[in-house]
Structure 1
Amino acid sequence: MEENKKLFKSFGPSNFSVNNVMTVYVLTVIIFIAGLMSYLSMPSEAFPEIITPEIYVGTPYPGNSPADIEKLISRPLEKEINGITGVDEINSTSVEGYSTIQVKFDFDVTPNDALRKVKDKVDAAMGKPDFPADLPADPNVFELNISELMPMANINLSGGFSLDQLKDYAEYLEEEIENLNEISKVDIRGIDDKEVRVMIDNKKLESMKLGFRDIAGAIQNENMTISGGNLLVDGYRRNVRVVGEIRAIEELENIIIKSEKMQLVRLKDVAEVAFDEVERESYAREYGDAVAMLDVFKRSGENQIILSGKISDILDLAKEEYFPDNLSVTVTNDTSEQTQTQVADLENSIIFGMLLVVLVLMFFLGLRNALFVGIAIPLSMLMSFFILSAMSITLNTMVLFSLVLALGMLVDNGIVVVENIYRFMDEGYDKITAAKLGAGEVAMPIIASTATTLAAFVPLAFWPGIFGEFMKYLPITLITVLSSSLFVALVINPGLTSVLMKVEKEVTDKKKLTRYSLIIIVVGASIGYGAGILGLGNIFMYGGVFALIYSYGVLPATDWFQGKLLPKLEDLYTKFLTYALSGKRPIGFFLGTGALLVFSIILLGIAPPKTLFFPENMPNQAIVYVQMPIGTDIEETNEVCLDLEQRVMNIVREYNYTDENGSLQNYMVESVIAQVGEGTSDPNAGPSMANTPNKAKITVAFHKFSERVSPDGVRVNSSDVLNELRSSIQDFPGVTISVGKDSNGPPSGPPINIEISGDDYTQLVDVADGVRTFINNQSIAGIEELKLDVETGKPEMPIEVDRVKARALGLSSAQIGDAIRTALFGKEVSRFKDGEDDYPINIRIIDDYRYNMEDLMNQKITFRDAASGKIKQVPISAVAKAHKTSTFSSIKRKDLKRVISIQSNVLEGSNPTETVEAIKTSLQDYNIPNMVTLSFTGEQEEQAEQLSFLSRALLMAIFLIFLILVSQFNSASTPFIILVTVVFSLIGVFLGLVIFRMEFVIMMTMIGIISLAGIVVNNAIVLID
C-alpha cells in the first residue's frame, strides 16, 4: 500500500487542511459568522441598482410653442452636445414651454464624466448670443438613476381637515422623512403651494395711466430691507437697516402706486390681492377620496426593507405626538412589501433546495457523508454573501435567482471529493491518508470542471448596455458561489472528513435524533424568529422537521435503496453499457443520437415555441395612464380621471366580501390611488420636469399572491383583473389611455414601437397616420391600440407684430410680448415672507379680461415716450394681429433628426414577437416616401441586440471551455468528444420546448443553455479523467 501511495496525486491546500484541522474549524466558524453578518447587513432591493451613463437636460421657457422650443433651446443644445466623444444617442422632446434632452453614452463612460461633459457643453451653448437670455432658470442637467424614478411608497393623509392643515401635516412628514440618509426626496401631491396673487383690473389701470411695470416697480421698491452700514455710537458699532419688508397682505394692498396732485393711487384701487393656493397643479385621491399624498423616493443602493421600518417608526411617532386622532394615515404601493416577499420566497427556495439536495445525497452516500457534502451549500452561500457584500452588491432578485440556479452545482465538487475520500477509507487507508489521497486525486479534475462552468458564465460578465447592468449580477454571483464551493470542497471538506468520516454502517438512535430535532426546532427557531431573521429561523425550523422525517421515514427508504435498488440499477447500467460499447454499436448509438438531434430541430421548426424577450410576470400593480391633448386644463383632466376611477372601482367592487366581523374587505385589491397632474408620467419614458396638467394616473395595487383567494377558495389571477380594467375603459374619445403593469426588468420600450424619421414634420405626421391606419385595417391580433406619440391640431394663437407701426408708436416687440405674457401667464415681481416661509408675489390681469381674446388684444400698453417724455397708451391691437391656428403638441428628435413613433402595448396572452412579425409582413408592400425612414425599435430592437450578444456569448463560452479542456487533457481530440455532448444536450432543450409547449424566453432560456453547457462538460471531465 505504501508503494502504491506514491503513484497517487496530492494537493497542497487539501494536505494543509488535513494537517491543521483546528484551523479548518476556526475558518469554518469565521466564514459562518462573517457570512451571516454580511447577509444581514446587505441592502435588500426588488431589482438591482442600475447606474447608466444617461444625462438629462431640462430647460423651461414658458410661453413658447413646441416649434419655438425646438428652434431656440433643443437644437442649439443638441448641436453642442453632439460634439462630445462617447455619445451613443441623443433624444429630445420639445413641448410647450419646456425642452427635455436625453443623452445616452457608451457604457465605458462613467456617469460623473458624462455629467461633467454635458454641463460643459450646456454652458457653452448658453454663452452664445443666439441662445435665449431670459430663461426663468438655467437648464437643469442631471443624471438618470432608474431605481429612483419610481416612489417606494405613497403616504396618504385625509380626514375632515382644511387644505392648510393637511399641508402642515404633510410638510411635517416630508421634513422628518427627508432627514433619513436613505431618502432621495419626498414630493407632496394633491396639495399646492401658496402665492400672493395681484389680480389687476386692466380698465382701472389704464384709466390711471399706469402699466404693469409701475405695479411691479412699486412692489419691488417697497418690499425690501436695505443695509445702511455701521453707525459708531459711544464706542459701539451698530448695524443700520432700513426695514421695508411687507409683513401682511393689508400692507401690500396699501402700497402707493402713484401720487399726483395730492391724489394717491394705492394697489387696492386697481387690483385685488389674495393670499391663496396657486392655480391647481395636482390632485390625489385614495379610493375616490381626496388626500394629501407624499411620494417617497429612496436613494439607490439603500436597504428598502430597513428603510420601510424607519418610515413606519416616524409615522407611529407622528400619530402619537403630533397628528390628531381623526387624521387618517395610510401607506400604499409600498414596494418594500413586494421586495420582502420576493426575498423571503427565494430564501425559502434556497432552504428547501438545500434540504432536497441533502435528501437525494442520503440515498447514495448515507446521512453522514451527505451532510459532509451538504455543508458546502450553507458555507458556500455565506462565503459568497461576504464577498458580494464587500463588492457593494445588494441583495436583489437577480442575486437570489443566481443563488437558486447555483444550488444544484454547489455540491458537485463536494460529492466527488467526499465520495473519493470514502473510497480510499473503504480500501483500508487511515482517515488522514485517505483524505489527502482522495482530495489530491480529484483536485485537478474538479478544478478543471469548475473552470469550465465558470468559463460558461464569464462572457456574460461583459454584457453591454442597460440589460448588461441588470443581468451582470448573474455571472458575478455564479462565479463567486462556484469558486466558494471549490474552496469548501478542497479545503474544508478534507479537513472535516479526516476527523469525522466513518466507513462503518451508521446506527441511528431515533430517540436521541428526535430529542436533538426538537431542541433545534424550539431553540434555533426561537432565536431566529425572535431576532427578526426569518431566513435563519426557517433554516432551524425546516432542518429540525427534516431530521424528524429522516428518522422515521427516510432512513428505512435509504436502507432499501442502497441495499436493494441501487445495486440493481448499477447492474442494469453496466449491462447496458457493455452492450452499447461492444462491436460497431457505438457508431450506431452516435448516429442515432445525431438523428435525434436533427429530429428535435425539425420538430422545433414545425411547432415553434412562442418567443418572449423577458419572462412575463403576474402583475402586482395595474397602472392606467391617461393623456389628454396637450394644453388641456387640469380641471378637465381631473373630470375625465374621476369618470375613469368610477369604472375602475366598479371592477374592484367585484372582489369585495364581508368578513366574519361584518367589515367590507377586498381579497384582490389593496389600494386604488389616482393622481392628476404632477407625478403622472410613465417612468419608462424617462424623467421630465415639465408640468403635465393633461395627464393622470390610476394605480391599482394587488394583495400578495398568497392572499388573492376568494372566500370560496378560488384563486384569482391578477392578469385577469388587468384585462377587465383594459376592456372597461377604452371608449373615451379624444383621450389616450393605456393600461400597463409593474415591470420585472429594466425598461426596454413598448413591445410595438415603429419610428418614422425625417426632416419635414408635417410629412412625418401624414406618413405615421397613414401607417397606423394601414396596420389597423389589417386586423392583426394582439395589438392593444396604436397611438402616435405626437398630437396634431393643438390649438394655437400666434400674434404677429407689425414692427413698422410699433416702432413708429414707440413700442418694441419685447414690450408687446412682455405685456401679453404678464397679462396671461403672470409675472413674479417679489417674495412675501410669512414666518419662516416665503411665497411668490405674482401679477396678472383679472380672469374676466384674461380669458377674453378681445379684451386681451385691446389692452393698452402704458409707457413714457422717450422723445416727448409724455405718457402714451397704445392698444396692442393697433400694432399686432392674432389669428387662430393649430400646431403639434410636441416635436421629438433622435440623433438630430425629427422622429414620430407609433406605439402600442400587446394584449395579455398575445406574443409580442409574433405580433411585430405580422406587422412587418403587412408593411412590406407599403409605400414609404424617399426622404422618410421607417424602423422597428423599442423592445424588438433590444430583443435582437440581446439575442445577438447571447449567441456570441455561447460561442465564446464554448471556445473558453475548449481551451481549458485542451490544457487539462493535453489533447485536441478529447475536448471535441466532450463538446459533442454539449451539442447533444440540446436535444432535451428542444424537445422540452415542443412537448411541453413552453415559451422561448430569450433572456432566461439562453442563460439556461449556457449554464447547461458548463454542467454537461463537468460530468464529461470527471468521467473521462
Structure 2
Amino acid sequence: MLNKSIKFLIENKIVAVLLLTMFIGWGVMVAPFDWDTGNFPRDPVAVDAIPDIGENQQIVFTKWDGRSPQDIEDQITYPLTTSLLGISGVKTVRSSSMFGFSSIYIIFEEDVEFYWSRSRILEKLSSLQKGLLPDGVQPSLGPDATGLGQIFWYTIEGRDENGNVTGGWDLHEIRSVQDYYVKYALSSASGVAEVASIGGYIQEYQIDVNPDILKEYNISLEQVVNAVRKTNKDVGAKTIEINRVEYLVRGLGYVKSVEDIENAVVTSDNHTSILIKDIAKVSLGPAERRGILDKEGAEVVGGVVVARYGANPMEVITNVKSKIAEISAGLPSKVLKDGRTSQLTIIPFYDRTELIHETLNTLSEALSLEILITILVIIMMVFNLRASILISGLLPIAVLMVFIAMKLFNVDANIVALSGIAIAIGTMVDVGIILSENIIRHIDEDKKRTPVNTVVYNATVEVSGAIITAVMTTIISFIPVFTMIGAEGKLFRPLAFTKTFALTASIIVALFLIPSFAAWLFNWKSPKKKFGFLLNIALIIFGLLALINGYYLGLVLLGYAGTSILKSREILSNAKANKLNIIITVFSIIVLLSVYWRPLGVDYSIFSSLIFVSLICFGLLGVFTLFRRYYVSILNWALANKLLFLCLPTIIIVLGVSIWRNTGKEFMPALNEGSFLLMPTSLPHSGIQENKRVLQQLDMAVASIPEIKTVVGKAGRIESALDPAPLSMYENIIIYLPEYKFDDNGKRLKFKVNDDGLFETKSGAFISSGTKTETNTLILDEDGEFFRNWRKHIKSADDIWNEIVDVTRLPGVTSAPKLQPIQTRLIMLQTGMRAPMGIKVKGQDLKEIQDFGLKLETILKQVPGVKKEAVFADRIVGKPYLIIDIDRSKLTRYGLTINDVQSILEVAIGGKIITQTVEGRERYGIRVRYPREQRNSPDVLERIYVPTPNGSPIPLKELVTITYEKGPQVIKSEDTFLVGYVLFDKQDGEAEVTVVERAQQLILDKIESGELTVPKGINYKFTGTYENQIRAEKTLSMVVPLALVIIFLILYFQFRSVSTSLMVFSGIAVAFAGGFIMIWLYGESWFLNIDMFGINLREIFQMHPINLSVAVWVGFIALFGIATDDGVVMATYLTQTFDKNLPQTKQAIRLSVVEAGKKRIRPCLMTTATTILALLPILTSTGRGSDIMIPMAIPSFGGMVIALITLFVVPVLFSWKKELSLNKINYGN
C-alpha cells in the first residue's frame, strides 16, 4: 500500500501539488504566529506563554463580614470541609479562614472533568443540612477559572489629552466607575470569567449614632436600625385603569441622598417626631476595606481580568482590549482648575500578551534560524543545489503541517509545545536527507538512462523501511512523556504531541512529497536560450529593485543573473556555474544568519557576527568533512584493534553514568517572564494605615531603579475568591524593561545614531544606551542600532532582582523569594504556599504548630544551600484580639440574653449594613454604628449602654470582661487538619532536590540527637515544586525502560537479529553518556572559557550549571529516539552489502564493512550535522522562553556529538560478529 501510494504520487504530480497547496494554505491559516496575511482567513491555534500546570481545583468562598478567623473556622470552614470531602473524585481539600471570609480549595483528581466537578459541588452545597451554617451565610462557588487565569491587570487614572497623569479625582469616584461601569463592560467580553476590583474606597452612607442622645431619648439601637430599614423601600401597587388606559403604580421610597436618611423618623414623643438627624450624624464616606492598590507610591484604583477555564488567553485579551476601546469614550471626564480636561483612562500594567508575543518570537526566530542552518548544511555536504532546494523548501511545509495537527487535536501553542518542533527540526530534515541522498546516488549510478520516475521510485522504496524504522524509534521514545501525570504531564505532554506531529509530518513529506518533486526537479532541463535571456533580464530587474530598497536579496539575485549570463555565453560550464550558484547561496545564508542570529549580541557589528558565524559553521562543517575524509582510515584501524577501540565507548559510558549519579535535581528551570512578583509580609498586628505606608515605600524604592518600567503593589486582596491574601501580605508586580526596545510583536527595533554612537531623539537631543526614555522619543531607522535599556553593569534579570532586594530592605518587613507572576500562581495552586519550597506542619493546636515551625526555621537556616534571609515560619498566633467575655450570671440578673448584648456589640462597634440604596445602576450600603470616639478603646467600650427589659440601660462593663490576647490572623487546614508553613528558598546555583535532601537529613539528625523533639500530634512534610521532580522521576524510571524495550523490538523487527539490534541499540548508551558529559562541561568554568571579539564563549552559549530537571529528561528522551538513526542506516547497508558480497574470509568481511561504511558515511554525517548545527540557535538564544528550550537541547547536542563514535561502533561490532561466525565455521570444518 505504501509503495503504491508513493508510485501514484510520482506519476501524478498534480495531486502532490494540490496536497502541497492545501498544507500551505491550511497551515498559514492556523499558525500561532502573528502573521499579516491580509484578507486571507485566520483561525490560529490557541496561544499562551506556558501550559496551565496547576491542580484541578475549585473554590468555595463564603463571606461573613466582621467575624474573626476563629469564628469563621469553627462555624463555616470546618463544617463545609467535612461535607465536601465526600464528593467523588476529591484528592484533597485545603482551606483558609480569615477575617470576614472562608476559602475552601477542593483539589480533584486529574481525570475529573472541570465543569463536572463544579456541578458536584453545587449539588452538595444545595443539599447542606439546615443549621449547618449560621443564618444568612451562603457559600458560593468561585469563578470558573484558575489562578493562572489572571491575564490582564489595569488601573483607572485621570489623564490629559497628552496622556499625562492628572489629579482631580477622588478614589471613591474612580472606584464607583470601576465597580458599576468598567467591571461589567469588561465582564461581557467573550472568554472572561470574572473582573475583580481592587483599591480605592467603596462609597457608603454612614450613620454615626450618638449613644448619649439615644440614652437621653430612651431610644434603643434596634429602633434606629428598624427606622433605617423602613425608610429605604420602593413598592408596586399593581395597576390603575383611567379612561381605559392602564397605568402601572409605583410607590417611590428608595433613599437618594443623605437628606433622605436624615429625615427618617425613628419614633415620636408627644406628637414630636424624632428624626435620624436628631440622634446621629449622616454622611457619605468610605467603607472598611481589606485591599489597597498602589502605583509607584500613589494610591490607585484598578482591576484584574480573569480568563475562563479553557479559553484562549490571546483571544480573551484581544476581546478585552476591544471592549476597552469601545467604552473609553464613555468614561467620565472633568475640567480641572488649571483648565485641563482630565479623562478617566484604563491603563494596563500587566498584559500577558507581551510575554506571549516575546516567547513566540523567540521560537519563531529559533525555527527560522534552524531552517537556514539546515539549508546551509545540506548545500555544503550534498553540494547539489537542486537537492538542497528540495529538502529545505519542503521543511517549512512539515512545520505548517504540525500547526494543522495542533489545531485538530486541540494542542495549545506555548513555549513548551513549540519547543517540540524546535528540537525536532534536525530529525525532521534527516529523513529528507537520507532519501534525497539516495535518490542522487541512484541517478548518478544509473548508466541505462532509466526514466527518472522509475529511478526515484526505486531509490525511495529502498530506504523507506529504514526511514520509517528510524522515525518510529523516535516517536516510541516519547511514550514516557505521554505517561507523565500531574504538573509535569500537563507541562510536557503538549511537547510530546508536537514532536510526534513533527516526525509524522516529516514522514509524509519525505515519502509522499519529496519523491514527486524530486522526479520533476531532477528531470528539469535548462531553459531554452530565448527563455533563458528573459529569465536573466527578470533577475537583473528584480535584483536592482531589491538593492535600491536596501535588501540583501538584490545582491543575491544579481549574482544568480551574472552566473546565468556567463553560462549562456559559455564562459562558464554548467558544473562551474552550479558551483558558483552554490557559493552565492552559501554566502547569502551566512549573511542572513549574521543579520538575524547575531550570536555575539546586538552590541557587536554585523561584520563581527559574520566572522563568528562563518567560523562556527564552516569550522564544524570542516570537522565533519575531515571526519568523512579520514573515516575509512580510522575504521580500518578500529577493525584491526577492536578491543582497544571499544574501550573508548566503554569509558564514555562509565563516565556518563558517574556524572548522572552526581548531578543536582530540580523540577523545572524558571521561565523568564519579564516581570517579578515581590511578596514580602509585614507583622500580623500592623493596621491598614501602616500597611499602606510600607506598600508605598516598597513601590517608590523599586520604581527608583532605572530598569523598572512600572511597579504596582497590592496589600490585602482583590474582590475575588481567587485571592485570599491577608492585609499584611504584599504583592508588588514589577515590570522591568526588556534589555532592548521591541515593537508590539516582540521584534527588536533599530534607531538613528550619530557618528559617536549616541541615539538621536525627536527633540534633537542625543542620549546613550541605558538612559530611561520612551520608544516614541527616538527615531526609527532600519540602518541604525539597537537601543539597550539596561545600564552597563546590568547583565541579566538576576542583576535587576538583586537591586530590588537591596532597595526593599525595610524594618518590620520580611524578605521574599525570587518569584514571577505566573510562577507564583502555579506554586500557590500546587502547594498552597507562596514559595517554591517549604515544610507543612500539621497538628491539632495552632500554638504548637507555630512553635514547632519556629524551631524548624532555626534549623533550616543552618542548611548549606538555603538562603537564610528567605527562611520564614508562619507567625500563626500573632494577631491582637480584643476579647469581650460576657458573664452569663450577670445577664440573668438583668433579664438579658447573649443575643441582646451581641447585637449591641455587632452594630455599635463593628457597624452593620442595614440596607442598600438603588441609585440607577449603582448600589451603596447604609451602615449604622457609633462614632469612632465612642468605640476606639476598651475604656470607651465599657461605657456602651445596653438596654434592659425594665427600660434602664446599664453600661457594658457591668456585663462583660474585656481582655487582650493573641490569636490567629489566618487558620489554614488540609483535609480538616490544621497546618502551618515554613517557607524557604535555595541559593543561586543550588539544585532544589539536593537542598531539600540536605534539610531532611539535618532535621533527622537533630531529632536523633535529641536537639529537636516533635510534639505528640504534630507531623511535618517537605513540600514544593521538587515533589513534581520526584514523581516524574519515579514515573520515568518505570516507563523509560519500557520504551527502550519497545525501541529494541522495532529494531529487531527491522533486522530480525538480536545481535544486530543490540549493536544499533548501543548508540543509545553512548549518546546518553554524551548528553551527561555535555551537562557536566556546561557547569565547568574552564570549558570554552575563551574570549572572542571581547566576549566570552561561555556567555554566548549561555553556559552555567545545569540541574537534572524534567526538561533535561525530556531532552534525553528526544535523544534516545534519534541516537539509533545512524546505526539503523549503517546496519541496513551492512546487511545489504554482506547479502550481496557473501564474504568468506576475515579480510573480505572487513572490506565489506568498509564498503558499506563508505556508502553510508555521507548521509549519516549529514543527519548528525543537521541535528547538531540546528541546535546552535537554541543554545545561543537569550529571548523569552530560552530558559526552558536550552536545557532540553543540551542532551541532544552533547549526545549527538559523542554519538558520532557509533559510526565506528556498529561496523566494528558487526565485523566482530561476522568474524566470530567465520571462526566457528572454520573450527567446525
1:341 aligns with 2:358: yes
Determine if contact 1:198/1:272 at 8 Å carries over to the other structure: yes
Counting only pairs closer than 5 Å after superposition, residues 292-311 of structure 1 correspond to structure 2 as: 292-299=301-308, 304=313
1:676 aligns with 2:715: yes
SS of equivalent residue, structure 1 residue 716: coil
Tell me what 1:462 maps to.
Answer: 483
What whole-Å deviation, never above 9, does each CA across 1:12-58 have from its counterpart, x for those lacking one? 22112112210110110011001101115223321235574211122
Query: Which of 53, 70, 80 pairs up with 2:56?
Result: 53
| Deviation of 1:725 (Å) | 1.8
Q: Structure 1's 565 and 237: CA in aligned 2 closer, same or farther, altered over 3 A?
A: closer
Query: Which of 622, 627, 633 pairs up with 1:575?
Result: 633
Determine if contact 2:295/2:699 at 8 Å carries over to the other structure: no
Q: Which amino acid aligns with 2:494?
A: Y
Number of equivalences = 975
What whole-Å deviation, never above 9, does each CA across 1:908-930 have from its counterpart, x for those lacking one? 44443443333223212223235
Tell me what 2:411 maps to.
Answer: 393
Structure 2 CA distance for aligned equivalents of residues 476 and 539 of structure 1: 38
Q: Which moved more, 1:253-262 or 1:139-148?
A: 139-148
1:878 aligns with 2:975: no
1:44 aligns with 2:47: yes
Q: Structure 1's 231 and 862: CA in aligned 2 closer, same or farther, altered over 3 A?
A: farther
| Deviation of 1:564 (Å) | 12
| Deviation of 1:173 (Å) | 4.4
| Deviation of 1:1013 (Å) | 0.5
What whole-Å deviation, never above 9, does each CA across 1:806-838 have from its counterpart, x for those lacking one? 245332222222221112222121122223322
SS of equivalent residue, structure 1 residue 693: coil
Determine if contact 1:615/1:1001 at 8 Å carries over to the other structure: no
Q: Identity of counterpart residues, as a percentage?
A: 20
SS of equivalent residue, structure 1 residue 240: strand
Structure 2 CA distance for aligned equivalents of residues 259 and 72 of structure 1: 40
Q: Structure 1's 917 and 305: CA in aligned 2 closer, same or farther, altered over 3 A?
A: same
Determine if contact 1:422/1:503 at 8 Å carries over to the other structure: no
Q: Structure 1's 921 and 506: CA in aligned 2 closer, same or farther, altered over 3 A?
A: farther
Determine if contact 1:426/1:503 at 8 Å carries over to the other structure: no
| Deviation of 1:301 (Å) | 5.2
Tell me what 1:1019 maps to.
Answer: 1126
1:160 aligns with 2:177: no
Tell me what 1:752 maps to.
Answer: 837
Structure 2 CA distance for aligned equivalents of residues 517 and 992 of structure 1: 48
| Deviation of 1:467 (Å) | 2.6
Counting only pairs closer than 5 Å after superposition, residues 367-766 of structure 1 correspond to structure 2 as: 367-428=385-446, 429-502=450-523, 519=542, 552=584, 554=586, 570-582=628-640, 585-602=641-658, 608-618=662-672, 620-630=674-684, 632-650=686-704, 652=705, 655=706, 668-679=707-718, 688=722, 690=724, 692-707=726-741, 709=788, 716-733=795-812, 735=814, 737=816, 739-743=818-822, 746-747=826-827, 749=831, 750-766=835-851
Structure 2 CA distance for aligned equivalents of residues 538 and 281 of structure 1: 59
Tell me what 1:962 maps to.
Answer: 1048
Q: Structure 1's 555 and 292: CA in aligned 2 closer, same or farther, altered over 3 A?
A: closer
Structure 2 CA distance for aligned equivalents of residues 546 and 228 of structure 1: 91
1:989 aligns with 2:1085: no
Tell me what 2:273 maps to.
Answer: 264
Determine if contact 1:626/1:697 at 8 Å carries over to the other structure: yes
Counting only pairs closer than 5 Å after superposition, residues 291-330 of structure 1 correspond to structure 2 as: 291-299=300-308, 304=313, 326-327=342-343, 329=345, 330=347
Q: Which amino acid aligns with 1:673?
A: V
Determine if contact 2:233/2:253 at 8 Å carries over to the other structure: yes
Q: Structure 1's 218 and 518: CA in aligned 2 closer, same or farther, altered over 3 A?
A: farther
Q: Which moved more, 1:444-453 or 1:222-231?
A: 222-231
| Deviation of 1:967 (Å) | 2.8
Q: Structure 1's 588 and 500: CA in aligned 2 closer, same or farther, altered over 3 A?
A: same
Tell me what 2:939 maps to.
Answer: 854
Determine if contact 1:826/1:844 at 8 Å carries over to the other structure: yes
| Deviation of 1:706 (Å) | 2.5
Query: Which of 232, 245, 264 pairs up with 1:223?
Result: 232
Tell me what 2:1197 maps to.
Answer: none
What whole-Å deviation, never above 9, does each CA across 1:127-173 have from its counterpart, x for those lacking one? 243432232x4343555524313535556544122226544665654
Q: Structure 1's 175 and 122: CA in aligned 2 closer, same or farther, altered over 3 A?
A: closer
Q: Which moved more, 1:975-984 or 1:910-919?
A: 910-919
Q: Structure 1's 129 and 296: CA in aligned 2 closer, same or farther, altered over 3 A?
A: closer
Structure 2 unaligned residues grouped into runs of 5+: 32-41, 159-164, 335-340, 562-580, 591-613, 742-769, 771-787, 1008-1013, 1084-1104, 1133-1229
Return the TM-score normalized by structure 1: 0.87
Determine if contact 1:42/1:395 at 8 Å carries over to the other structure: yes
Counting only pairs closer than 5 Å after superposition, residues 143-222 of structure 1 correspond to structure 2 as: 143-151=144-152, 156-157=157-158, 158-163=165-170, 166-167=174-175, 170=178, 172-222=181-231
Return the TM-score normalized by structure 2: 0.73
1:936 aligns with 2:1015: no
TM-align CA RMSD: 3.8
Determine if contact 2:917/2:925 at 8 Å carries over to the other structure: yes
Determine if contact 2:51/2:491 at 8 Å carries over to the other structure: yes
Structure 2 CA distance for aligned equivalents of residues 840 and 542 of structure 1: 74
SS of equivalent residue, structure 2 residue 62: strand
Structure 1 CA distance for aligned equivalents of residues 50 and 537 of structure 2: 41
What whole-Å deviation, never above 9, does each CA across 1:531-565 have from its counterpart, x for those lacking one? xxxxxx9999999899999553627999x99x999
Q: Which moved more, 1:777-786 or 1:105-114?
A: 777-786
SS of equivalent residue, structure 1 residue 829: strand
Q: Which amino acid aligns with 2:634?
A: F
Structure 1 CA distance for aligned equivalents of residues 887 and 544 of structure 2: 90
1:799 aligns with 2:884: yes
Structure 2 CA distance for aligned equivalents of residues 821 and 780 of structure 1: 51
SS of equivalent residue, structure 1 residue 831: strand
| Deviation of 1:123 (Å) | 3.5
Determine if contact 2:685/2:878 at 8 Å carries over to the other structure: no
SS of equivalent residue, structure 1 residue 883: strand
Structure 1 unaligned residues grouped into runs of 5+: 1-8, 527-536, 656-667, 682-686
Determine if contact 1:44/1:302 at 8 Å carries over to the other structure: no
Q: Which moved more, 1:139-148 or 1:952-961?
A: 139-148
Q: Which amino acid aligns with 1:916?
A: V
Structure 1 CA distance for aligned equivalents of residues 909 and 19 of structure 2: 75
Q: Which amino acid aligns with 1:670?
A: K
Q: Which amino acid aligns with 1:65?
A: S
SS of equivalent residue, structure 2 residue 870: coil
| Deviation of 1:398 (Å) | 1.6
| Deviation of 1:883 (Å) | 1.9
| Deviation of 1:259 (Å) | 0.9
Q: Which moved more, 1:301-310 or 1:1015-1024?
A: 301-310
Determine if contact 2:486/2:1028 at 8 Å carries over to the other structure: no
